[in-house]
Structure 1
């Protein structure tokens, strides 16, 4: 049996979890979904789902990971019975697929950071993005990013992941705050804040079938839920700490950074040639940050430098998140098959890179849609749903016992947590999974057709 590593400090664990949560989900997905689904209306639903669903499920993953000291597959083999033993594979497969295309998008970010350093953001953002995606160059930047991920994870928990996040997460916070302060000085800031911070509740009631699954998917993606990251990271905890307190800190920091990204993106957009009424028509993630936002950088003071700093922030955030996903699949080989860390990391890194090559080479983005719909919109929600049912209804004692460690008196909070899992979380996840399945079917049918 390979000797298992542990975090050196509590701060290391918290920053690693925050680093996992603070990734492309905050910068790539969050602003465009706010724009697509009614501005502040989406923000209200998102924050509600973070509190009601995201936080309780994070505690589930924490308790399972710390109790078993294993990766998702090994953890469910240890505590599961019958078919429940196989739940862990949902998490590992989701993480594997997500990282394969996540790395491709991060490679695009590297290219856009280079554009900024060269002062080369184009007035026609769509044309520049079209020339950026697809072909050999995105495959190369995909390889560069995956090589960085492999290098960090291969160094281990303390010397690789923990050391890197202690540098990266503070850097993300400092850069985000600095960019938000600069964005506040732009002429479009007032209109942007009105759009971003004044919810139209009528939008929520009218479009809830679209807003709800989008906000839920964002909550899961940004908190790294449903892909086994929090199970794996909690499995390296060497002491009985207050998981609820750590979870509040992690969720709070992640949400704060996501919020700041809105304070950055919308003033920059509205200081360019985009009006508040047009934000919802920009489209998905590539359309938002790689087309509309980069085009706006061409029209604001010091736009090249500002864009380079922005995309550098995105790069650091993407790396801190990607190493956590890689650790999930690497820990499986280490725990279950006794493979040494370096060959496990290199071998899986190459495999993930190869799975992502079709996404990198495809200029139409069809492969990206396929991967994202299946992994992010289906597998993440399915894994969280199954685990919530198992801990909430079947292994209740395990969850309560593990959560109570580090807490003097769990009391009514434990009852609240379990019943939150049993009713609102499970019901909401079933509804969201159904809506996502319909959306995925429509999206994939459009590609096939």
Structure 2
């Protein structure tokens, strides 16, 4: 087995973890989810989920990763509970599954970054998207995106993942801030802010059955929970780092980036009278792409926006590939570059159907959001809360100096609040899958 790598610095770990969390789910997915679910109504539920479920859950993954110093599957065996490796298997499979269609969307970003330079999509954004989103070109760009991800992961934890995160994450924040300032100057920015920041309690109450699964799935997706990424990343940590402090920084930073994306997107949409949440899986491309063609300096804004989107996509995709790569590196005699290429090739093949048919991409996305992510987090919560509580609390205390009260509250959130929230989400999510699945089956198989 190859010698295990570590982070060069605590800052490197935080930026890498933030990079994993700050991805397409924040900039592409968050405004779309908010637009589909009542704007500020979704925001309120999402923020509650992030801090009541997301923060305790990220600490669960940190505890398992750092205490075991192993990949997400072998971690449970190292902790003396091999039967619970099923939790790691589900998470690792979820990372593999998500990356397959995530990379297809990354290919769209590459295409639109080039199209922004020439203004190719300005005249007919919807037609342009429909022409490039599926088919041979989408497959080719899916391959290019995966090659970029493979190249970074192949260089290793310190030389590849950490160094890239130190460049990409600050760049994402600076460029998003610039876009946010620019968006605030648009004519109807105020209407966009009102939709985004003024919640209607009736909307929340009447639509909680649809908002809650979306909010939980969005929180898990944007925090990289349930896919083994945070277990893998924290396994390279030293014992003197404070897990609660680092987890809090990552959760807050990730949430602020998602909120900032909304401050960019909603003023643009309301400035042009475009309905939030329209556009389906291609909302950032069809809706915003069309908007860039109608606003001053649209080509420049489009280049900056899609460059930010590319950096975000890469930073998250790197962590997803690392989950599977870390397992293979630690359980085979193959080198990291060889493993990264082999795993990346398999991810590419799984993603080909999503690149050829948009309905498959939507189906892959729904399964990840509504089933795989919640199931993986639920298994981990049951393990930490009821099988390994003393070891988990001991690890959480290392390097943190947190109070006994904090540990107790955290443990009971893991035991009760997280499972209850996830079980409710799973029930609602499965109902959505049955409804949407029937529609997709008709579209895909019955023509």
TM bracket (short chain): over 0.9
Are 1:79 and 2:76 counterparts?
no
Q: Deviations over 1:181-238 (max 9, x none)?
A: 0000111211111111111111100000000000000000000000000000000013
Return the offset for 1:326: 0.5
Q: 1:273 to 1:125 in 2, by over 3 A?
A: farther
| Whole-angstrom CA distance in 1 between matches of 2:412 and 2:79 | 21
**Contact preservation (8 Å) 1:40, 1:196:** yes
Give the total of aligned pairs. Answer: 442
Residue 182 (structure 1) aligns with: 182
Are 1:408 and 2:401 counterparts?
yes
| Whole-angstrom CA distance in 2 between matches of 1:104 and 1:239 | 37
Are 1:284 and 2:284 counterparts?
no
**Contact preservation (8 Å) 1:154, 1:341:** yes
4+ aligned runs moved over 6 Å, structure 1: none
Matches within 5 A, 1:108-123: 108-123=108-123
| Alignment counterpart, residue 417 of structure 1, candidates 392, 397, 410 | 410
SS at match of 2:59: helix
For the aligned residues, what is the CA RMSD?
A: 1.2
Matches within 5 A, 1:330-341: 330-341=325-336
| Alignment counterpart, residue 303 of structure 1, candidates 294, 298, 301 | 298
Residue 144 (structure 1) aligns with: 144
**Contact preservation (8 Å) 1:74, 1:336:** no
Return the offset for 1:137: 0.9
Matches within 5 A, 1:45-444: 45-79=45-79, 81=81, 83-274=83-274, 278-280=275-277, 282-286=278-282, 288-362=283-357, 365-444=358-437
| Whole-angstrom CA distance in 2 between matches of 1:123 and 1:188 | 23
Length-normalised TM-score, structure 2: 0.97
| Whole-angstrom CA distance in 1 between matches of 2:220 and 2:305 | 24
Return the offset for 1:315: 0.2
SS at match of 1:279: coil
| Whole-angstrom CA distance in 1 between matches of 2:204 and 2:123 | 34
Q: Deviations over 1:126-182 (max 9, x none)?
A: 212111211111111111110000000000011000000000000000000000000
**Contact preservation (8 Å) 2:239, 2:398:** no
**Contact preservation (8 Å) 1:2, 1:335:** yes
| Whole-angstrom CA distance in 2 between matches of 1:49 and 1:252 | 13
Return the offset for 1:336: 2.2
| Whole-angstrom CA distance in 1 between matches of 2:329 and 2:212 | 38
**Contact preservation (8 Å) 1:120, 1:304:** no
Q: 1:285 to 1:27 in 2, by over 3 A?
A: farther
| Whole-angstrom CA distance in 2 between matches of 1:101 and 1:251 | 24
Length-normalised TM-score, structure 1: 0.96
Return the offset for 1:283: 4.5
Return the offset for 1:6: 0.2
SS at match of 1:87: helix
SS at match of 1:420: helix
SS at match of 2:276: helix
Return the offset for 1:80: 5.4
